[in-house]
Amino acid sequence: MLLLLLFLAVLPLNAADLRLGIVGTDISHVIHFTRILNTPSDPDHIPGARVVAAYKGGSPDIVSSRTRVEGYADQLQKTYGVEIVPTIAALCARVDAVLLESGDGRIHLEQAKQVIAAGKPLFIDKPLASTLEDAREIARLAKEAGVPWFSSSTLRFGDLATTMKTPDAIGIDVWGPGPMEEHHHLDLSWYAIHAIELLYTLMGTGCQEVTRFAAGNFDKGSDVIVGRWKNGRIGTVRTLRPTGGYGVVVFRPGKSMRSPENATISYVPLVKEIVAFFESGKPPVPNEETLELFAFLDAAQRSKSADGKPQRLR
């Protein structure tokens, strides 16, 4: 009976469902996203697309990757009926669109090249890339090939962003966890990118200069990153190591508002946006905003290297 129920849970909804492929099975998002898409009985289910194939990938020099890639691939196959394929080319031949989920931003450019060459619409999970140059190259290749893409943190479409966004904000403080990974040149891209993307969701584009103050070490402490926007607004991010909760304070003329404690973080709003994007080809996050966010990360890294000296965005 259990096997029958499992089989029924992952049946395709209809022939019109978009067939999605996953590149990289080393982060938990691949399980959460597939559960939401492939399980009609799940209360979080989103119709219109299903994951049908996955390429394992993985990075042997990152502990969290090499210890998870096989387990998540096995779960995708056994629980959700996802076919595991040997190459990205084989994946692209089976699907309508691709979720690039590899946890290692260093390999995103090479993996994205293959998806773009196949002409498949592409969602790239955080981080978009490991350097500003790689991020810009992904954007250039996709534009030349006419392939739509976007990248986003889950937080952009969640409660913190939707409840705290206001057009009259004169400054915003954001905080969140900021563990690092030794192989990533832009060290904020590994996890602090979630809080930084939340800041950009609330502030919008137009940052001109970034100053970063670092305290503690690689494993504990915090960084404060201060961005100066062209219209005089100031946005700050405090990253907490090894971990911490998310929060926001929005400063408005004559008043301020603070986010509630223990805000809910859900994958559902992001998955809804991904499905809508694959159906329409219209990115819910402008590519230009994502590239400016990476220029922000780049300036923050240069400021850290310069002992806190302000750096202009490149």
Q: Which amino acid is at 6?
A: L
At 206, is the pLDDT very low, low, confident or very high (cuts 50, 70, 90)?
Answer: very high
| Annotated domain spans of the chain | 2-151, 154-312
Examine the pLDDT at 4 and tell me if it is beyond 60. Answer: no
Residue % of the chain over a pLDDT of 70: 95
CA–CA dist 275, 170 (Å, integer): 34
* Residue 14 pLDDT: 54
At 262, is the pLDDT very low, low, confident or very high (cuts 50, 70, 90)?
Answer: confident
* CATH class name, domain 154-312: alpha beta
* Residue 259 pLDDT: 94
* Residue 6 pLDDT: 43
SS3 113: helix
* Residue 221 pLDDT: 86
CB 79 within 8 A of CB 54: no
CA–CA dist 223, 304 (Å, integer): 9
Q: What is the mean pLDDT of the chain?
A: 93
- Cα torsion angle, 200, 203, 205, 211, sign: negative
CATH number of 2-151: 3.40.50.720
Q: What is the mean pLDDT of residues 163-172?
A: 95
pLDDT per residue as tens digits for the range 110-150: 999 999 999 999 999 999 999 999 999 999 999 999 999 99
**Among candidates 306, 150, 288, which has minimal Cα distance to 207?**
288
Please spell the DSSP secondary structure of 139-172, one letter per residue. Answer: HHHHHHHT--EEE--GGGGSHHHHHH--TT-SEE
Q: Which amino acid is at 100?
A: L
pLDDT per residue as tens digits for the range 47-95: 999 999 999 999 999 999 999 999 999 999 999 999 999 999 999 999 9
pLDDT per residue as tens digits for the range 209-259: 999 998 877 778 899 999 999 999 999 999 999 999 999 999 999 999 999
* Residue 134 pLDDT: 97
At 15, is the pLDDT very low, low, confident or very high (cuts 50, 70, 90)?
Answer: low
